[in-house]
Structure 1
Amino acid sequence: MLSGLLQCSSCGAGMVKHDNSSGRPRIRCSRVAESGCCDNKRRYYLDRIEAGVLDSLRAELDQPELIAEFVRTYHDERQRLAGANVRARAKDETRLGNIRAQMTRIVDMLAEGGAAFADMRGKMEALEQERREVEARLATADEQKVVVALHPQAVRRFREALDALSVALSNDRPLANQAFRELVAKVIVHPAPAGVEPKIEIIGN
């Protein structure tokens, strides 16, 4: 039921069925089985891994309010960042206007003979360098000004998958349900000493 989803945290290889102990299948890092080149050499009971996955998912399903809180926090942070970007852009635009005005004054002074070229050259070069830097920041700001919002459709699909999985958990084969596959991308098994249950990390959509 977890075929293709199990992954060893030590080397990133897949975890595969290794043997049976008292009728219970055990899994092991495939790299250990093939070449022995991994520190995660222990064999783990598959039913305990499955139980750990289900327990973690049930814990998530018992806290649906966290989804709403995540959406709210996400949008608040995006708005804060957008506001900071607006203020930074306004500051750069003001500075760019000042730089151009200073450069114009220097050109006028040189044209009127009121300043020596050698004296103004260093100032002009420094202003030109700063002008390019400010314009580059403004160009980058234009590329990033679109606020990436968490689309309501994505939130709705996630909630539907959670609801479907909640129902599936009471079935005979809950992990084979399509809702499970939609939410869970991989299950990472962290090494643990003998007699200690391994940490199960679920990477989901």
Structure 2
Amino acid sequence: ENQIDYTTPAGKFMLVMQGGLAELYSDNLSLEVKKGKQERKAQGLYNGLLPFGVMKGENRVPVPDPSSFPGLIMMFELAASGKSDREVARALNAAGYRTAGNRVGKPFTKDGVRGILINRFFVGELPDGKGGWIEGSHQPFINAEQFQEVQDMRARNRKQPKTMKRTARTYSLSGVLRCVDCGGPMWVHSNNKGRARIYCRERAKGEGCVNRGTFLDVYEEQVKEYLTRFVIPSDYQAQILKLYGHLQHVETNHESKQKELAGRLERIRKLYEWGDKPEAEYLYESGQIKQELAELVPEQQRPDVLAVLGEFLSDVSVAWEKATQEQRNRLARRLFEFARVKDENVVSVRPQPELRPFFQISEDCQSKSLSGDPDRGRTGDLSLDRTIAA
């Protein structure tokens, strides 16, 4: 133990010496750390905590992080399509992504999104310490064209009047498409050129789904071809209406169906409250169930549509061709409970209950191939969902 008396002249001298040595050690340590960082920078290596979407790989070189890299891609795609930093942050939070770095595990904010979108680290560069950038040893995670597209779009957004009202756009198949592989909903967003793309929500979250999705107009064309091939032969008209009337009588009791839906709604609510179900998933599923409940009209109150359904369906392909995106969405929801998609193909559709007899008999009467190609070419075969077609 130190027995120096720091009140004496000699003790005061020793105190000054010890303070000087401590300061020398601290300054030297700081210098060595700076030299180490400069050496890493000279080698093109990153210093500090890695940003969102990447992780340390071999030789400590950053590589894509499988759990968050899809979110990084999603972030730049949304920004390139014209979404604001705040809108991008909301989309990432809804998809279940959280921040990395100093604020790890926190919800995204517009400022956090901004820091990522302007960071040239993602195009393979590192700060040179003088306000510029140098080439890094890590791979570019975002191509330079898309990165510049995001910067240009953000610049245009800043020049827009602050009072400009932005409203969510409804696309023709919004809320209708489901993923064949994971069963989850398919999301849609458009790039700055206005071309909408469909992608699997679970794939974007990095949950392991392999469904790539494709552009919306590819799916629209397949749906149009399917509706064009829809037929109601005149000699089958009476049988279709008879089958429809029969299904109305054998349909599950409305009261029991209502209880079933209410029970499902209560169960997912409890799972959400217990923390076993993500918020975005809970909101989507509860919305679907509430919509089913709203459409569950007592049988004796349902309008008599038997006489007009055949005429409605016979002209549906013409209506689809002439409709706007919003009108097509209303039409698609009127026709289908959902459609299943896989990569570039619409695989199957599930019609609304009152329309199922028409779709079943139409499918029995004509080829179900969307392209008419017996070798099942690019568009594949679109048919009724097997769970209801049997």
Give TM-score scaled by structure 1 length: 0.48
Higher relative contact order (CA 8 A, sep 6+): 1
- Between Structure 1 and Structure 2, the one with more helix by share is 1
